[in-house]
Amino acid sequence: MTLTCHSDIGKIKSLFIKNVQQAFISNAHIEQHWKELNYLGKPNLNNAITEYATFESILQQQGAEIFYLPEDATVNMDSLYCRDAAIGTNKGMIICNMGKAGRMNEPLAEKKAFEANGFTVLGTITAPGTIEGGDVAWLDEHTLAVGHSYRTNPEGISQLTALLQPLGVDVITVALPHYKGPLDVFHLMSILSPVDTNLAVVYSPLMPIKFRNVLLQRGYQLVEVPNEEFDSLGCNVLALAPRECLMVEGNPKTKASLESAGCKVTEYKGEEISVKGGGGPTCLTRPIYRYK
């Protein structure tokens, strides 16, 4: 089997994660920073460590090679959501430039970790461009959807497009709505999670009509997340492999819809590590290689 970085659905071969203990540090650190980072509530560190141990064990059981981002004094609690600071490509990692000021040091910290583990860096998004990994999703190996959001701006998308053009990748820009404004965590992957070549979890009320039609024209079956399961991260689903899904528990309707579409669904308790910080399983992982 061959490998690619240009996928959000293939079986995960290798990935980076950051243990919650290295991100949250201590109760004192949480107390100091959770409000300024716009968390929904103050995380309980002991419960977060327990939740993360379960989450990590699920990844370990998949047999993927796991690389760990180290504790770093230059970054904060949000570094737990390690997808956002970089984008994987077949020619190396693209280092992002964060749209959230409190996360500005994360890309450099991840760059150091990638290089320390022997991963090539293809390029870096620089100011005034901004882009976050939660705003990008592979529709196929040659097509990347990128959300224009409060975290990802047109200059960042332009720089990303220039880096991907030599790789034969087309970029589709998706104009995202205002929703709750610039302080909220709202990425493209807040409303889209591909889980197979023709299956995606979506929240249609916040999805642009044009982009939703693109998915339908590509032959996607859409698993619709109900209103009551959007805030509980029902739309944030990580494909461990095609139709093998990992999601936060507490979204029974979305889970049932996935199972009706032929998916195997694994849940983890994520009140502390996911819901309060607005980051589900896709946010908690930075996949590198997946099997085609």
When pLDDT is averaged across residues 25-52 and rounded to a whole number, the result is 97
Q: What is the CATH number of the domain that holds 286?
A: 3.75.10.10
Number of domains composing the chain: 1
Whether pLDDT at 1 is above 90: no
Which pLDDT tens digit goes with each residue over 229-246? Answer: 999 999 999 999 999 999
- Sign of the Cα torsion 202, 206, 212, 215 reads negative
d(CA 99, CA 195): 26
Range of the domain at 207: 3-291
Report CA Rg, the chain.
Answer: 17
Say what the pLDDT of residue 183 is: 83
d(CA 226, CA 257): 10
Sheet with 192-196, strands from edge to edge, namely 192-196, 199-202, 221-224
Band of pLDDT at residue 38, cut at 50, 70 and 90: very high
Tokens representing residue 56 in the block: 């990590």
Whether pLDDT at 184 is above 90: no
When pLDDT is averaged across residues 269-284 and rounded to a whole number, the result is 97
d(CA 253, CA 15): 29
Whether pLDDT at 15 is above 90: yes
Which pLDDT tens digit goes with each residue over 69-85? Answer: 999 999 999 999 999 99
pTM: 0.97
Whether pLDDT at 173 is above 90: yes
Using an 8 Å Cβ cutoff, are 213 and 204 in contact?
no
Q: Is the peptide bond before 128 cis (omega within 30 degrees of 0)?
A: yes
d(CA 124, CA 93): 9
Query: What integer best gives the mean pLDDT of the chain?
Result: 97
Of 288, 287, 285, 289, the residue nearest 18 (C-alpha): 285
Sheet with 86-89, strands from edge to edge, namely 86-89, 92-95, 121-124
